[in-house]
Amino acid sequence: MKFSLTTLGVSSASPTTDRYPSAHILNICGRLLLIDCGEGCQMLMKRHGFSLMKTGGVFLSHVHGDHVFGIFGLMSTLSMSGRTDPLHIYAPEAFRAILDFFRGQFLERETYPIVFHPLVSDVPETVLEDACMSVVAFPLVHRVPAYGYIFREREPGLNVRKDAVSSLSLTREEILSLKDGRDAVRSDGTILEADVLTYRPYAPRSFAYCSDTAVFDALPDIVRGVDLLYHEATFGDDCAGKAAEMYHSTARQAGQTALKAGAGQLVIGHFSSRYKDPSVLLEQAREVFPNTELGREGRQFEIPLKRQL
């Protein structure tokens, strides 16, 4: 039941010799989801042991180059490798023209369906829901239309308490009823209450991705209570004015958002190339939100299962 984020590219617009542009892998129960696809993304995926062919979906925040330049290479390699499974891409409507250009100029043989899901809503919207998870896209505040994402595990089914099965000699029909959340009534009138005799085996886990964006008042409420929050920290306190001008965030502002949202852990990334050592950004974020970590190439952040009693 793995739920983890691996940060691959954590640089902003200009890559450095040791930092690639935005690209991340989210593993939810074995499903590999790619979040942003900056230049060199497929090389990073291979380097860190992720199968390109197992990419279960692509979620692009916006169409600035440092978040999408890697998509041409990835889609070309998937075609040359003979992929047949559909590739679902979630991105702002502006990505449609990029996709059409790619298909017309570079995709000689489309071996797999490319399914584009345009994001156009100005309010949070569920864009994917299946037996494993749900994904909500929500608008950010940037120079072009941009979206963040919240990934949540689906709530697990009810389990019947083992001690109750034996002590009450529950029948198969009673167990099925309780697991369905329905009270069971015995022939003598005894009511077996589902609320008392069942439990959720674990609490659903959640991850929110916020890049690129300026801070805005509604954001903490949108991502409230997530177990893990990835938030851009392009600049430090020394460039707070530039952050506001460019519709980006500082590390301290990322920490403030995590604090207000009641997040479990904060990971910061999307560092400006002016910061050769981003540890200064980590220090500033931790002054506000101590449970902050630096994203870096290949670093994995796992959300442990929260067992229920």
Q: Are 9 and 301 in contact (CB under 8 A)?
A: no
Q: Which of 37, 51, 31 lies closest to 8, judged by CA?
A: 37
Half-sphere exposure of 174 (CA within 13 A, CB side): 19
Q: Taking the C-alpha atoms of 46, 47, 50 and 56 in order, what is their torsion angle to the nearest 10 degrees? A: -60
d(CA 37, CA 182): 46
Residue 230's DSSP bridge partners are 209, 267
Alpha-carbon torsion, ordered 283, 287, 291, 292, to 10 deg: -40
Residue 282: strand, helix, or coil = helix
Q: How many residues does the chain have?
A: 309
3-state SS of 76-117 is HHHHHCCCCCCEEEEEECCHHHHHHHHHHHCCCCCCCCEEEE
* 66 classed as catalytic: yes
Cβ atoms of 23 and 43 closer than 8 Å: no
Q: How many CB atoms lie within 10 A of CB 290?
A: 10
**Alpha-carbon distance values, 303 to 28, 139, 186 (Å):** 10, 25, 41
| Given the residues 66, 85, 100, 180, the one annotated as active site | 66
- Closest by Cα among 45, 50, 144 to 91: 144
Exposed/middle/buried for residue 191 (C-beta within 10 Å: 0-12, 13-18, 19+) = exposed
Partners of 203 in the beta sheet?
A: 306
Residues forming the active site: 66
